[in-house]
Amino acid sequence: MTVLVGLDIGTSGARAIAVDPAGAVVAEATHEYPLLSPRPGWTEQHPQVWWDATRQVLGRLGAQLGSQVAGVGLTGQMHGAVVLDSGDRVIRPALLWNDQRTEAQCREITDLVGRDRLIGITGNPALTGFQAPKLVWLREEEPESFTRIARVLLPKDYIRLRLTGDHATDASDASGTLLLDLRRRDWSRELLDTLALPLEWMPIVHESPAVAGRLLPRIAAELRLPAAIPVVAGAGDNAAAAIGNGIVRGGLVSSSIGTSGVIFAHTPGPSPEPGGRLHAFCHAVPGSYHLMGVTLSAGGSLRWWRDALGDGHAYDELTELAATAPPGAEGLVFLPHLAGERTPHLDPAARGAFFGLTARHGLAHLTRALMEGVTFSLRECMELMTGLGVIVDQVRATGGGSRSAFWRQLQADVYGMPVHRTAADEGPAYGAALLAGVGAGLYRSVEECAAVVRLRPEVAEPDPVRSRLYDEYFEAYRELYPSTRELMRRLSNLAATPSTEASG
């Protein structure tokens, strides 16, 4: 049996899966690692923990499947900045996608380049999560680290370096650096020169299914995998997940609820939202593009709620509890901006809130309102897409939220359209494995590899009565952020002001 391996370097852990050419998952392994937060709003990880986890999960698959592995595909968390010295040694912990320290640097980049020009080149405005502001921050705040930089890589591409010895990336992941020319699908010399960042720091950009290296003999021996098997360029986590969901043509949209929430739509060409309220990135389909809306705290909001309750609630218990409350939670609305917000607000100072609380509201109402608020935030992104002419024929649910029948039904009712689910809901690692199949010659194209994706028979159909009610609640939800934006910023500033404890 021939199998393909997909490796996902996630925020909370590494996951590897093995897939046969028909798309069936035959093996999997996971290994968790910690997230560092040295200051409020800062998130970092040591790249070594990714490598240690990679050795664990690939080693387990190698022990089980060995010579059957024909290729490896890489995916992982986007936007992180891994900075290396001239010997490819890590200089400092990587700054991650949800790190919020670079608001001032985003303003600097916007002033230097011009907002319209920046969106015109990269498809996006300057956002705190992207890689370019992190590099500017390092120059200003950690000059001793900055002067040692010889290479800059994204998280999954650091693992490629350890596996193959190659400095390479793919167009979809590189789109999230704020340094890629979206139309050329290569680094923008104009932006690099403007920001005084050397082109020599940047890895070679490939299309996602291209072979971007081969497994080093000593690594292959350690992992019990065949030497010199191809390691394809791979994709950023959302683009890889889209391949695994079959989102390789127009009309298909995926709705992902994991730690973050993502609405992902395939587009044939670059089509940035003029205000930069959606991400416009290269797709893992060569020559194609996608629009993406991102809610930073989707499933993360439910995890926060579970942890805040502190009495051992499981996720299934919470969703069952939410189902006992009526739609709309009797006038209660939740804003899910617990970690600032990406799209459509582009505001690191955005804050979460329950609005409309009364003495009548209990735990069931609060939980339902939270889940509804997350889904409203995704609908807001989807409506921006349809406003740009994106046609939505079918929504495919993915991520942890797709495993909940209640949350799938909630999405169908809020979106007002049927929600499907793929048979193999394995996330980005699954798409990375399929991409490896193209590089290994098992499929002729990304479209052909995505043809193995199958849908489950069950479909969540929207209830007309609930959908009409949610239309009204959605309008109320949409008014809350602009009505409270300035107050959110004031509170954010107050929280950042050092406090002096009163002495007794």
CATH number at residue 259: 3.30.420.40
Question: What pLDDT is stored for residue 55 in this prediction?
Answer: 98
Percent of the chain with pLDDT over 90: 85
> Is 449 within a domain?
no
Same domain, 97 and 121: yes
- Read off the pLDDT band of 84 (50, 70, 90): very high
* Domain identity same for 76 and 215: yes
CB atoms within 10 A of CB 228: 13
Residue 1 pLDDT: 77
Half-sphere exposure of 445 (CA within 13 A, CB side): 9
pLDDT at 398: 87
**What digits encode the pLDDT tens for the residues 331-376?**
999 999 998 888 899 888 899 999 999 999 999 999 999 999 999 9
| Residue 295 located in a structural domain | yes
- 262 and 234, same structural domain? no
**154 and 288 share one domain:** no
Half-sphere exposure of 440 (CA within 13 A, CB side): 28
Domain assignment of residue 291, yes or no: yes
| 277 and 207 both lie in a single domain | no
Is 444 part of any domain? no
Last residue of a domain, one of 242, 260, 288: 242
pLDDT of residue 499 exceeding 70: no
Domain span holding position 401: 247-421+463-496
Measured distance CA(279)–CA(344) in Å, rounded = 9
Same domain, 205 and 266: no
Residue that is last in its domain, among 197, 218, 242: 242
Q: Are residues 89 and 200 in the same domain?
A: yes
pLDDT score, position 425: 78
Could you tell me the pLDDT band of residue 143, with boundaries at 50, 70 and 90?
Answer: very high
How many angstroms separate the CA atoms of 472 and 416, rounded?
13
Count Cβ neighbours within 10 Å for each residue of 314-326 and write b for 16 or more, e otherwise.
ebeebbebbbebe
Backbone angles phi, psi at 461, to 5 degrees: -95, 140
Residue 203 confidence (pLDDT): 98
Please tell me whether residues 21 and 79 are part of one structural domain: yes
Q: Tens of pLDDT along 435-488?
A: 999 999 999 999 999 999 999 999 999 999 999 999 999 999 999 999 999 999
The confidence score (pLDDT) of residue 260 equals 87
Last residue of a domain, one of 189, 207, 242: 242
Q: Is the domain of 134 the same as that of 221?
A: yes
Position 502 scores a pLDDT of 45
Establish whether 347 is a catalytic residue: no
- Residue 41 has a pLDDT of 82
- Give 156-209 pLDDT, tens digit per residue: 999 999 999 999 999 999 999 999 999 999 999 999 999 999 999 999 999 999
What is the Cβ-side half-sphere exposure of residue 414, based on CA atoms within 13 angstroms? 28
Same domain, 22 and 117: yes
CA 10, 32, 150, 231 torsion-angle sign: negative
In this structure, the answer to whether residues 227 and 313 fall within a common structural domain is no
State the average pLDDT for the chain: 94
Highest mean pLDDT range out of 264-268, 331-335, 498-502?
331-335
Domain annotation covers residue 63: yes
In the set 173, 237, 413, 425, the catalytic residue is: 237
Are 310 and 220 contained in the same domain? no
Q: What is the pTM of this model?
A: 0.90
* Beta carbons of 253 and 241 less than 8 angstroms apart: no
Q: Which residues of 27-41 are buried (b: 16+ CB within 10 A; e: fewer)?
A: bbbbbebeeeeeeeb
Does 162 fall in a domain? yes
Q: What is the pLDDT of residues 379-401, one digit of tens each?
A: 999 999 999 999 999 999 988 88
Cα–Cα–Cα angle for 307, 486, 347, nearest 5°?
A: 60
Domain count, the chain: 2
Per-residue pLDDT tens for 311-320?
Answer: 888 999 999 9
DSSP string, 263-274: EEEEESS----T
Domain assignment of residue 447, yes or no: no
User: Within a domain: residue 185?
Assistant: yes
Reference 12, options 457, 427, 382; nearest CA is: 427
CB atoms under 10 Å from CB of 97, counted, come to: 28
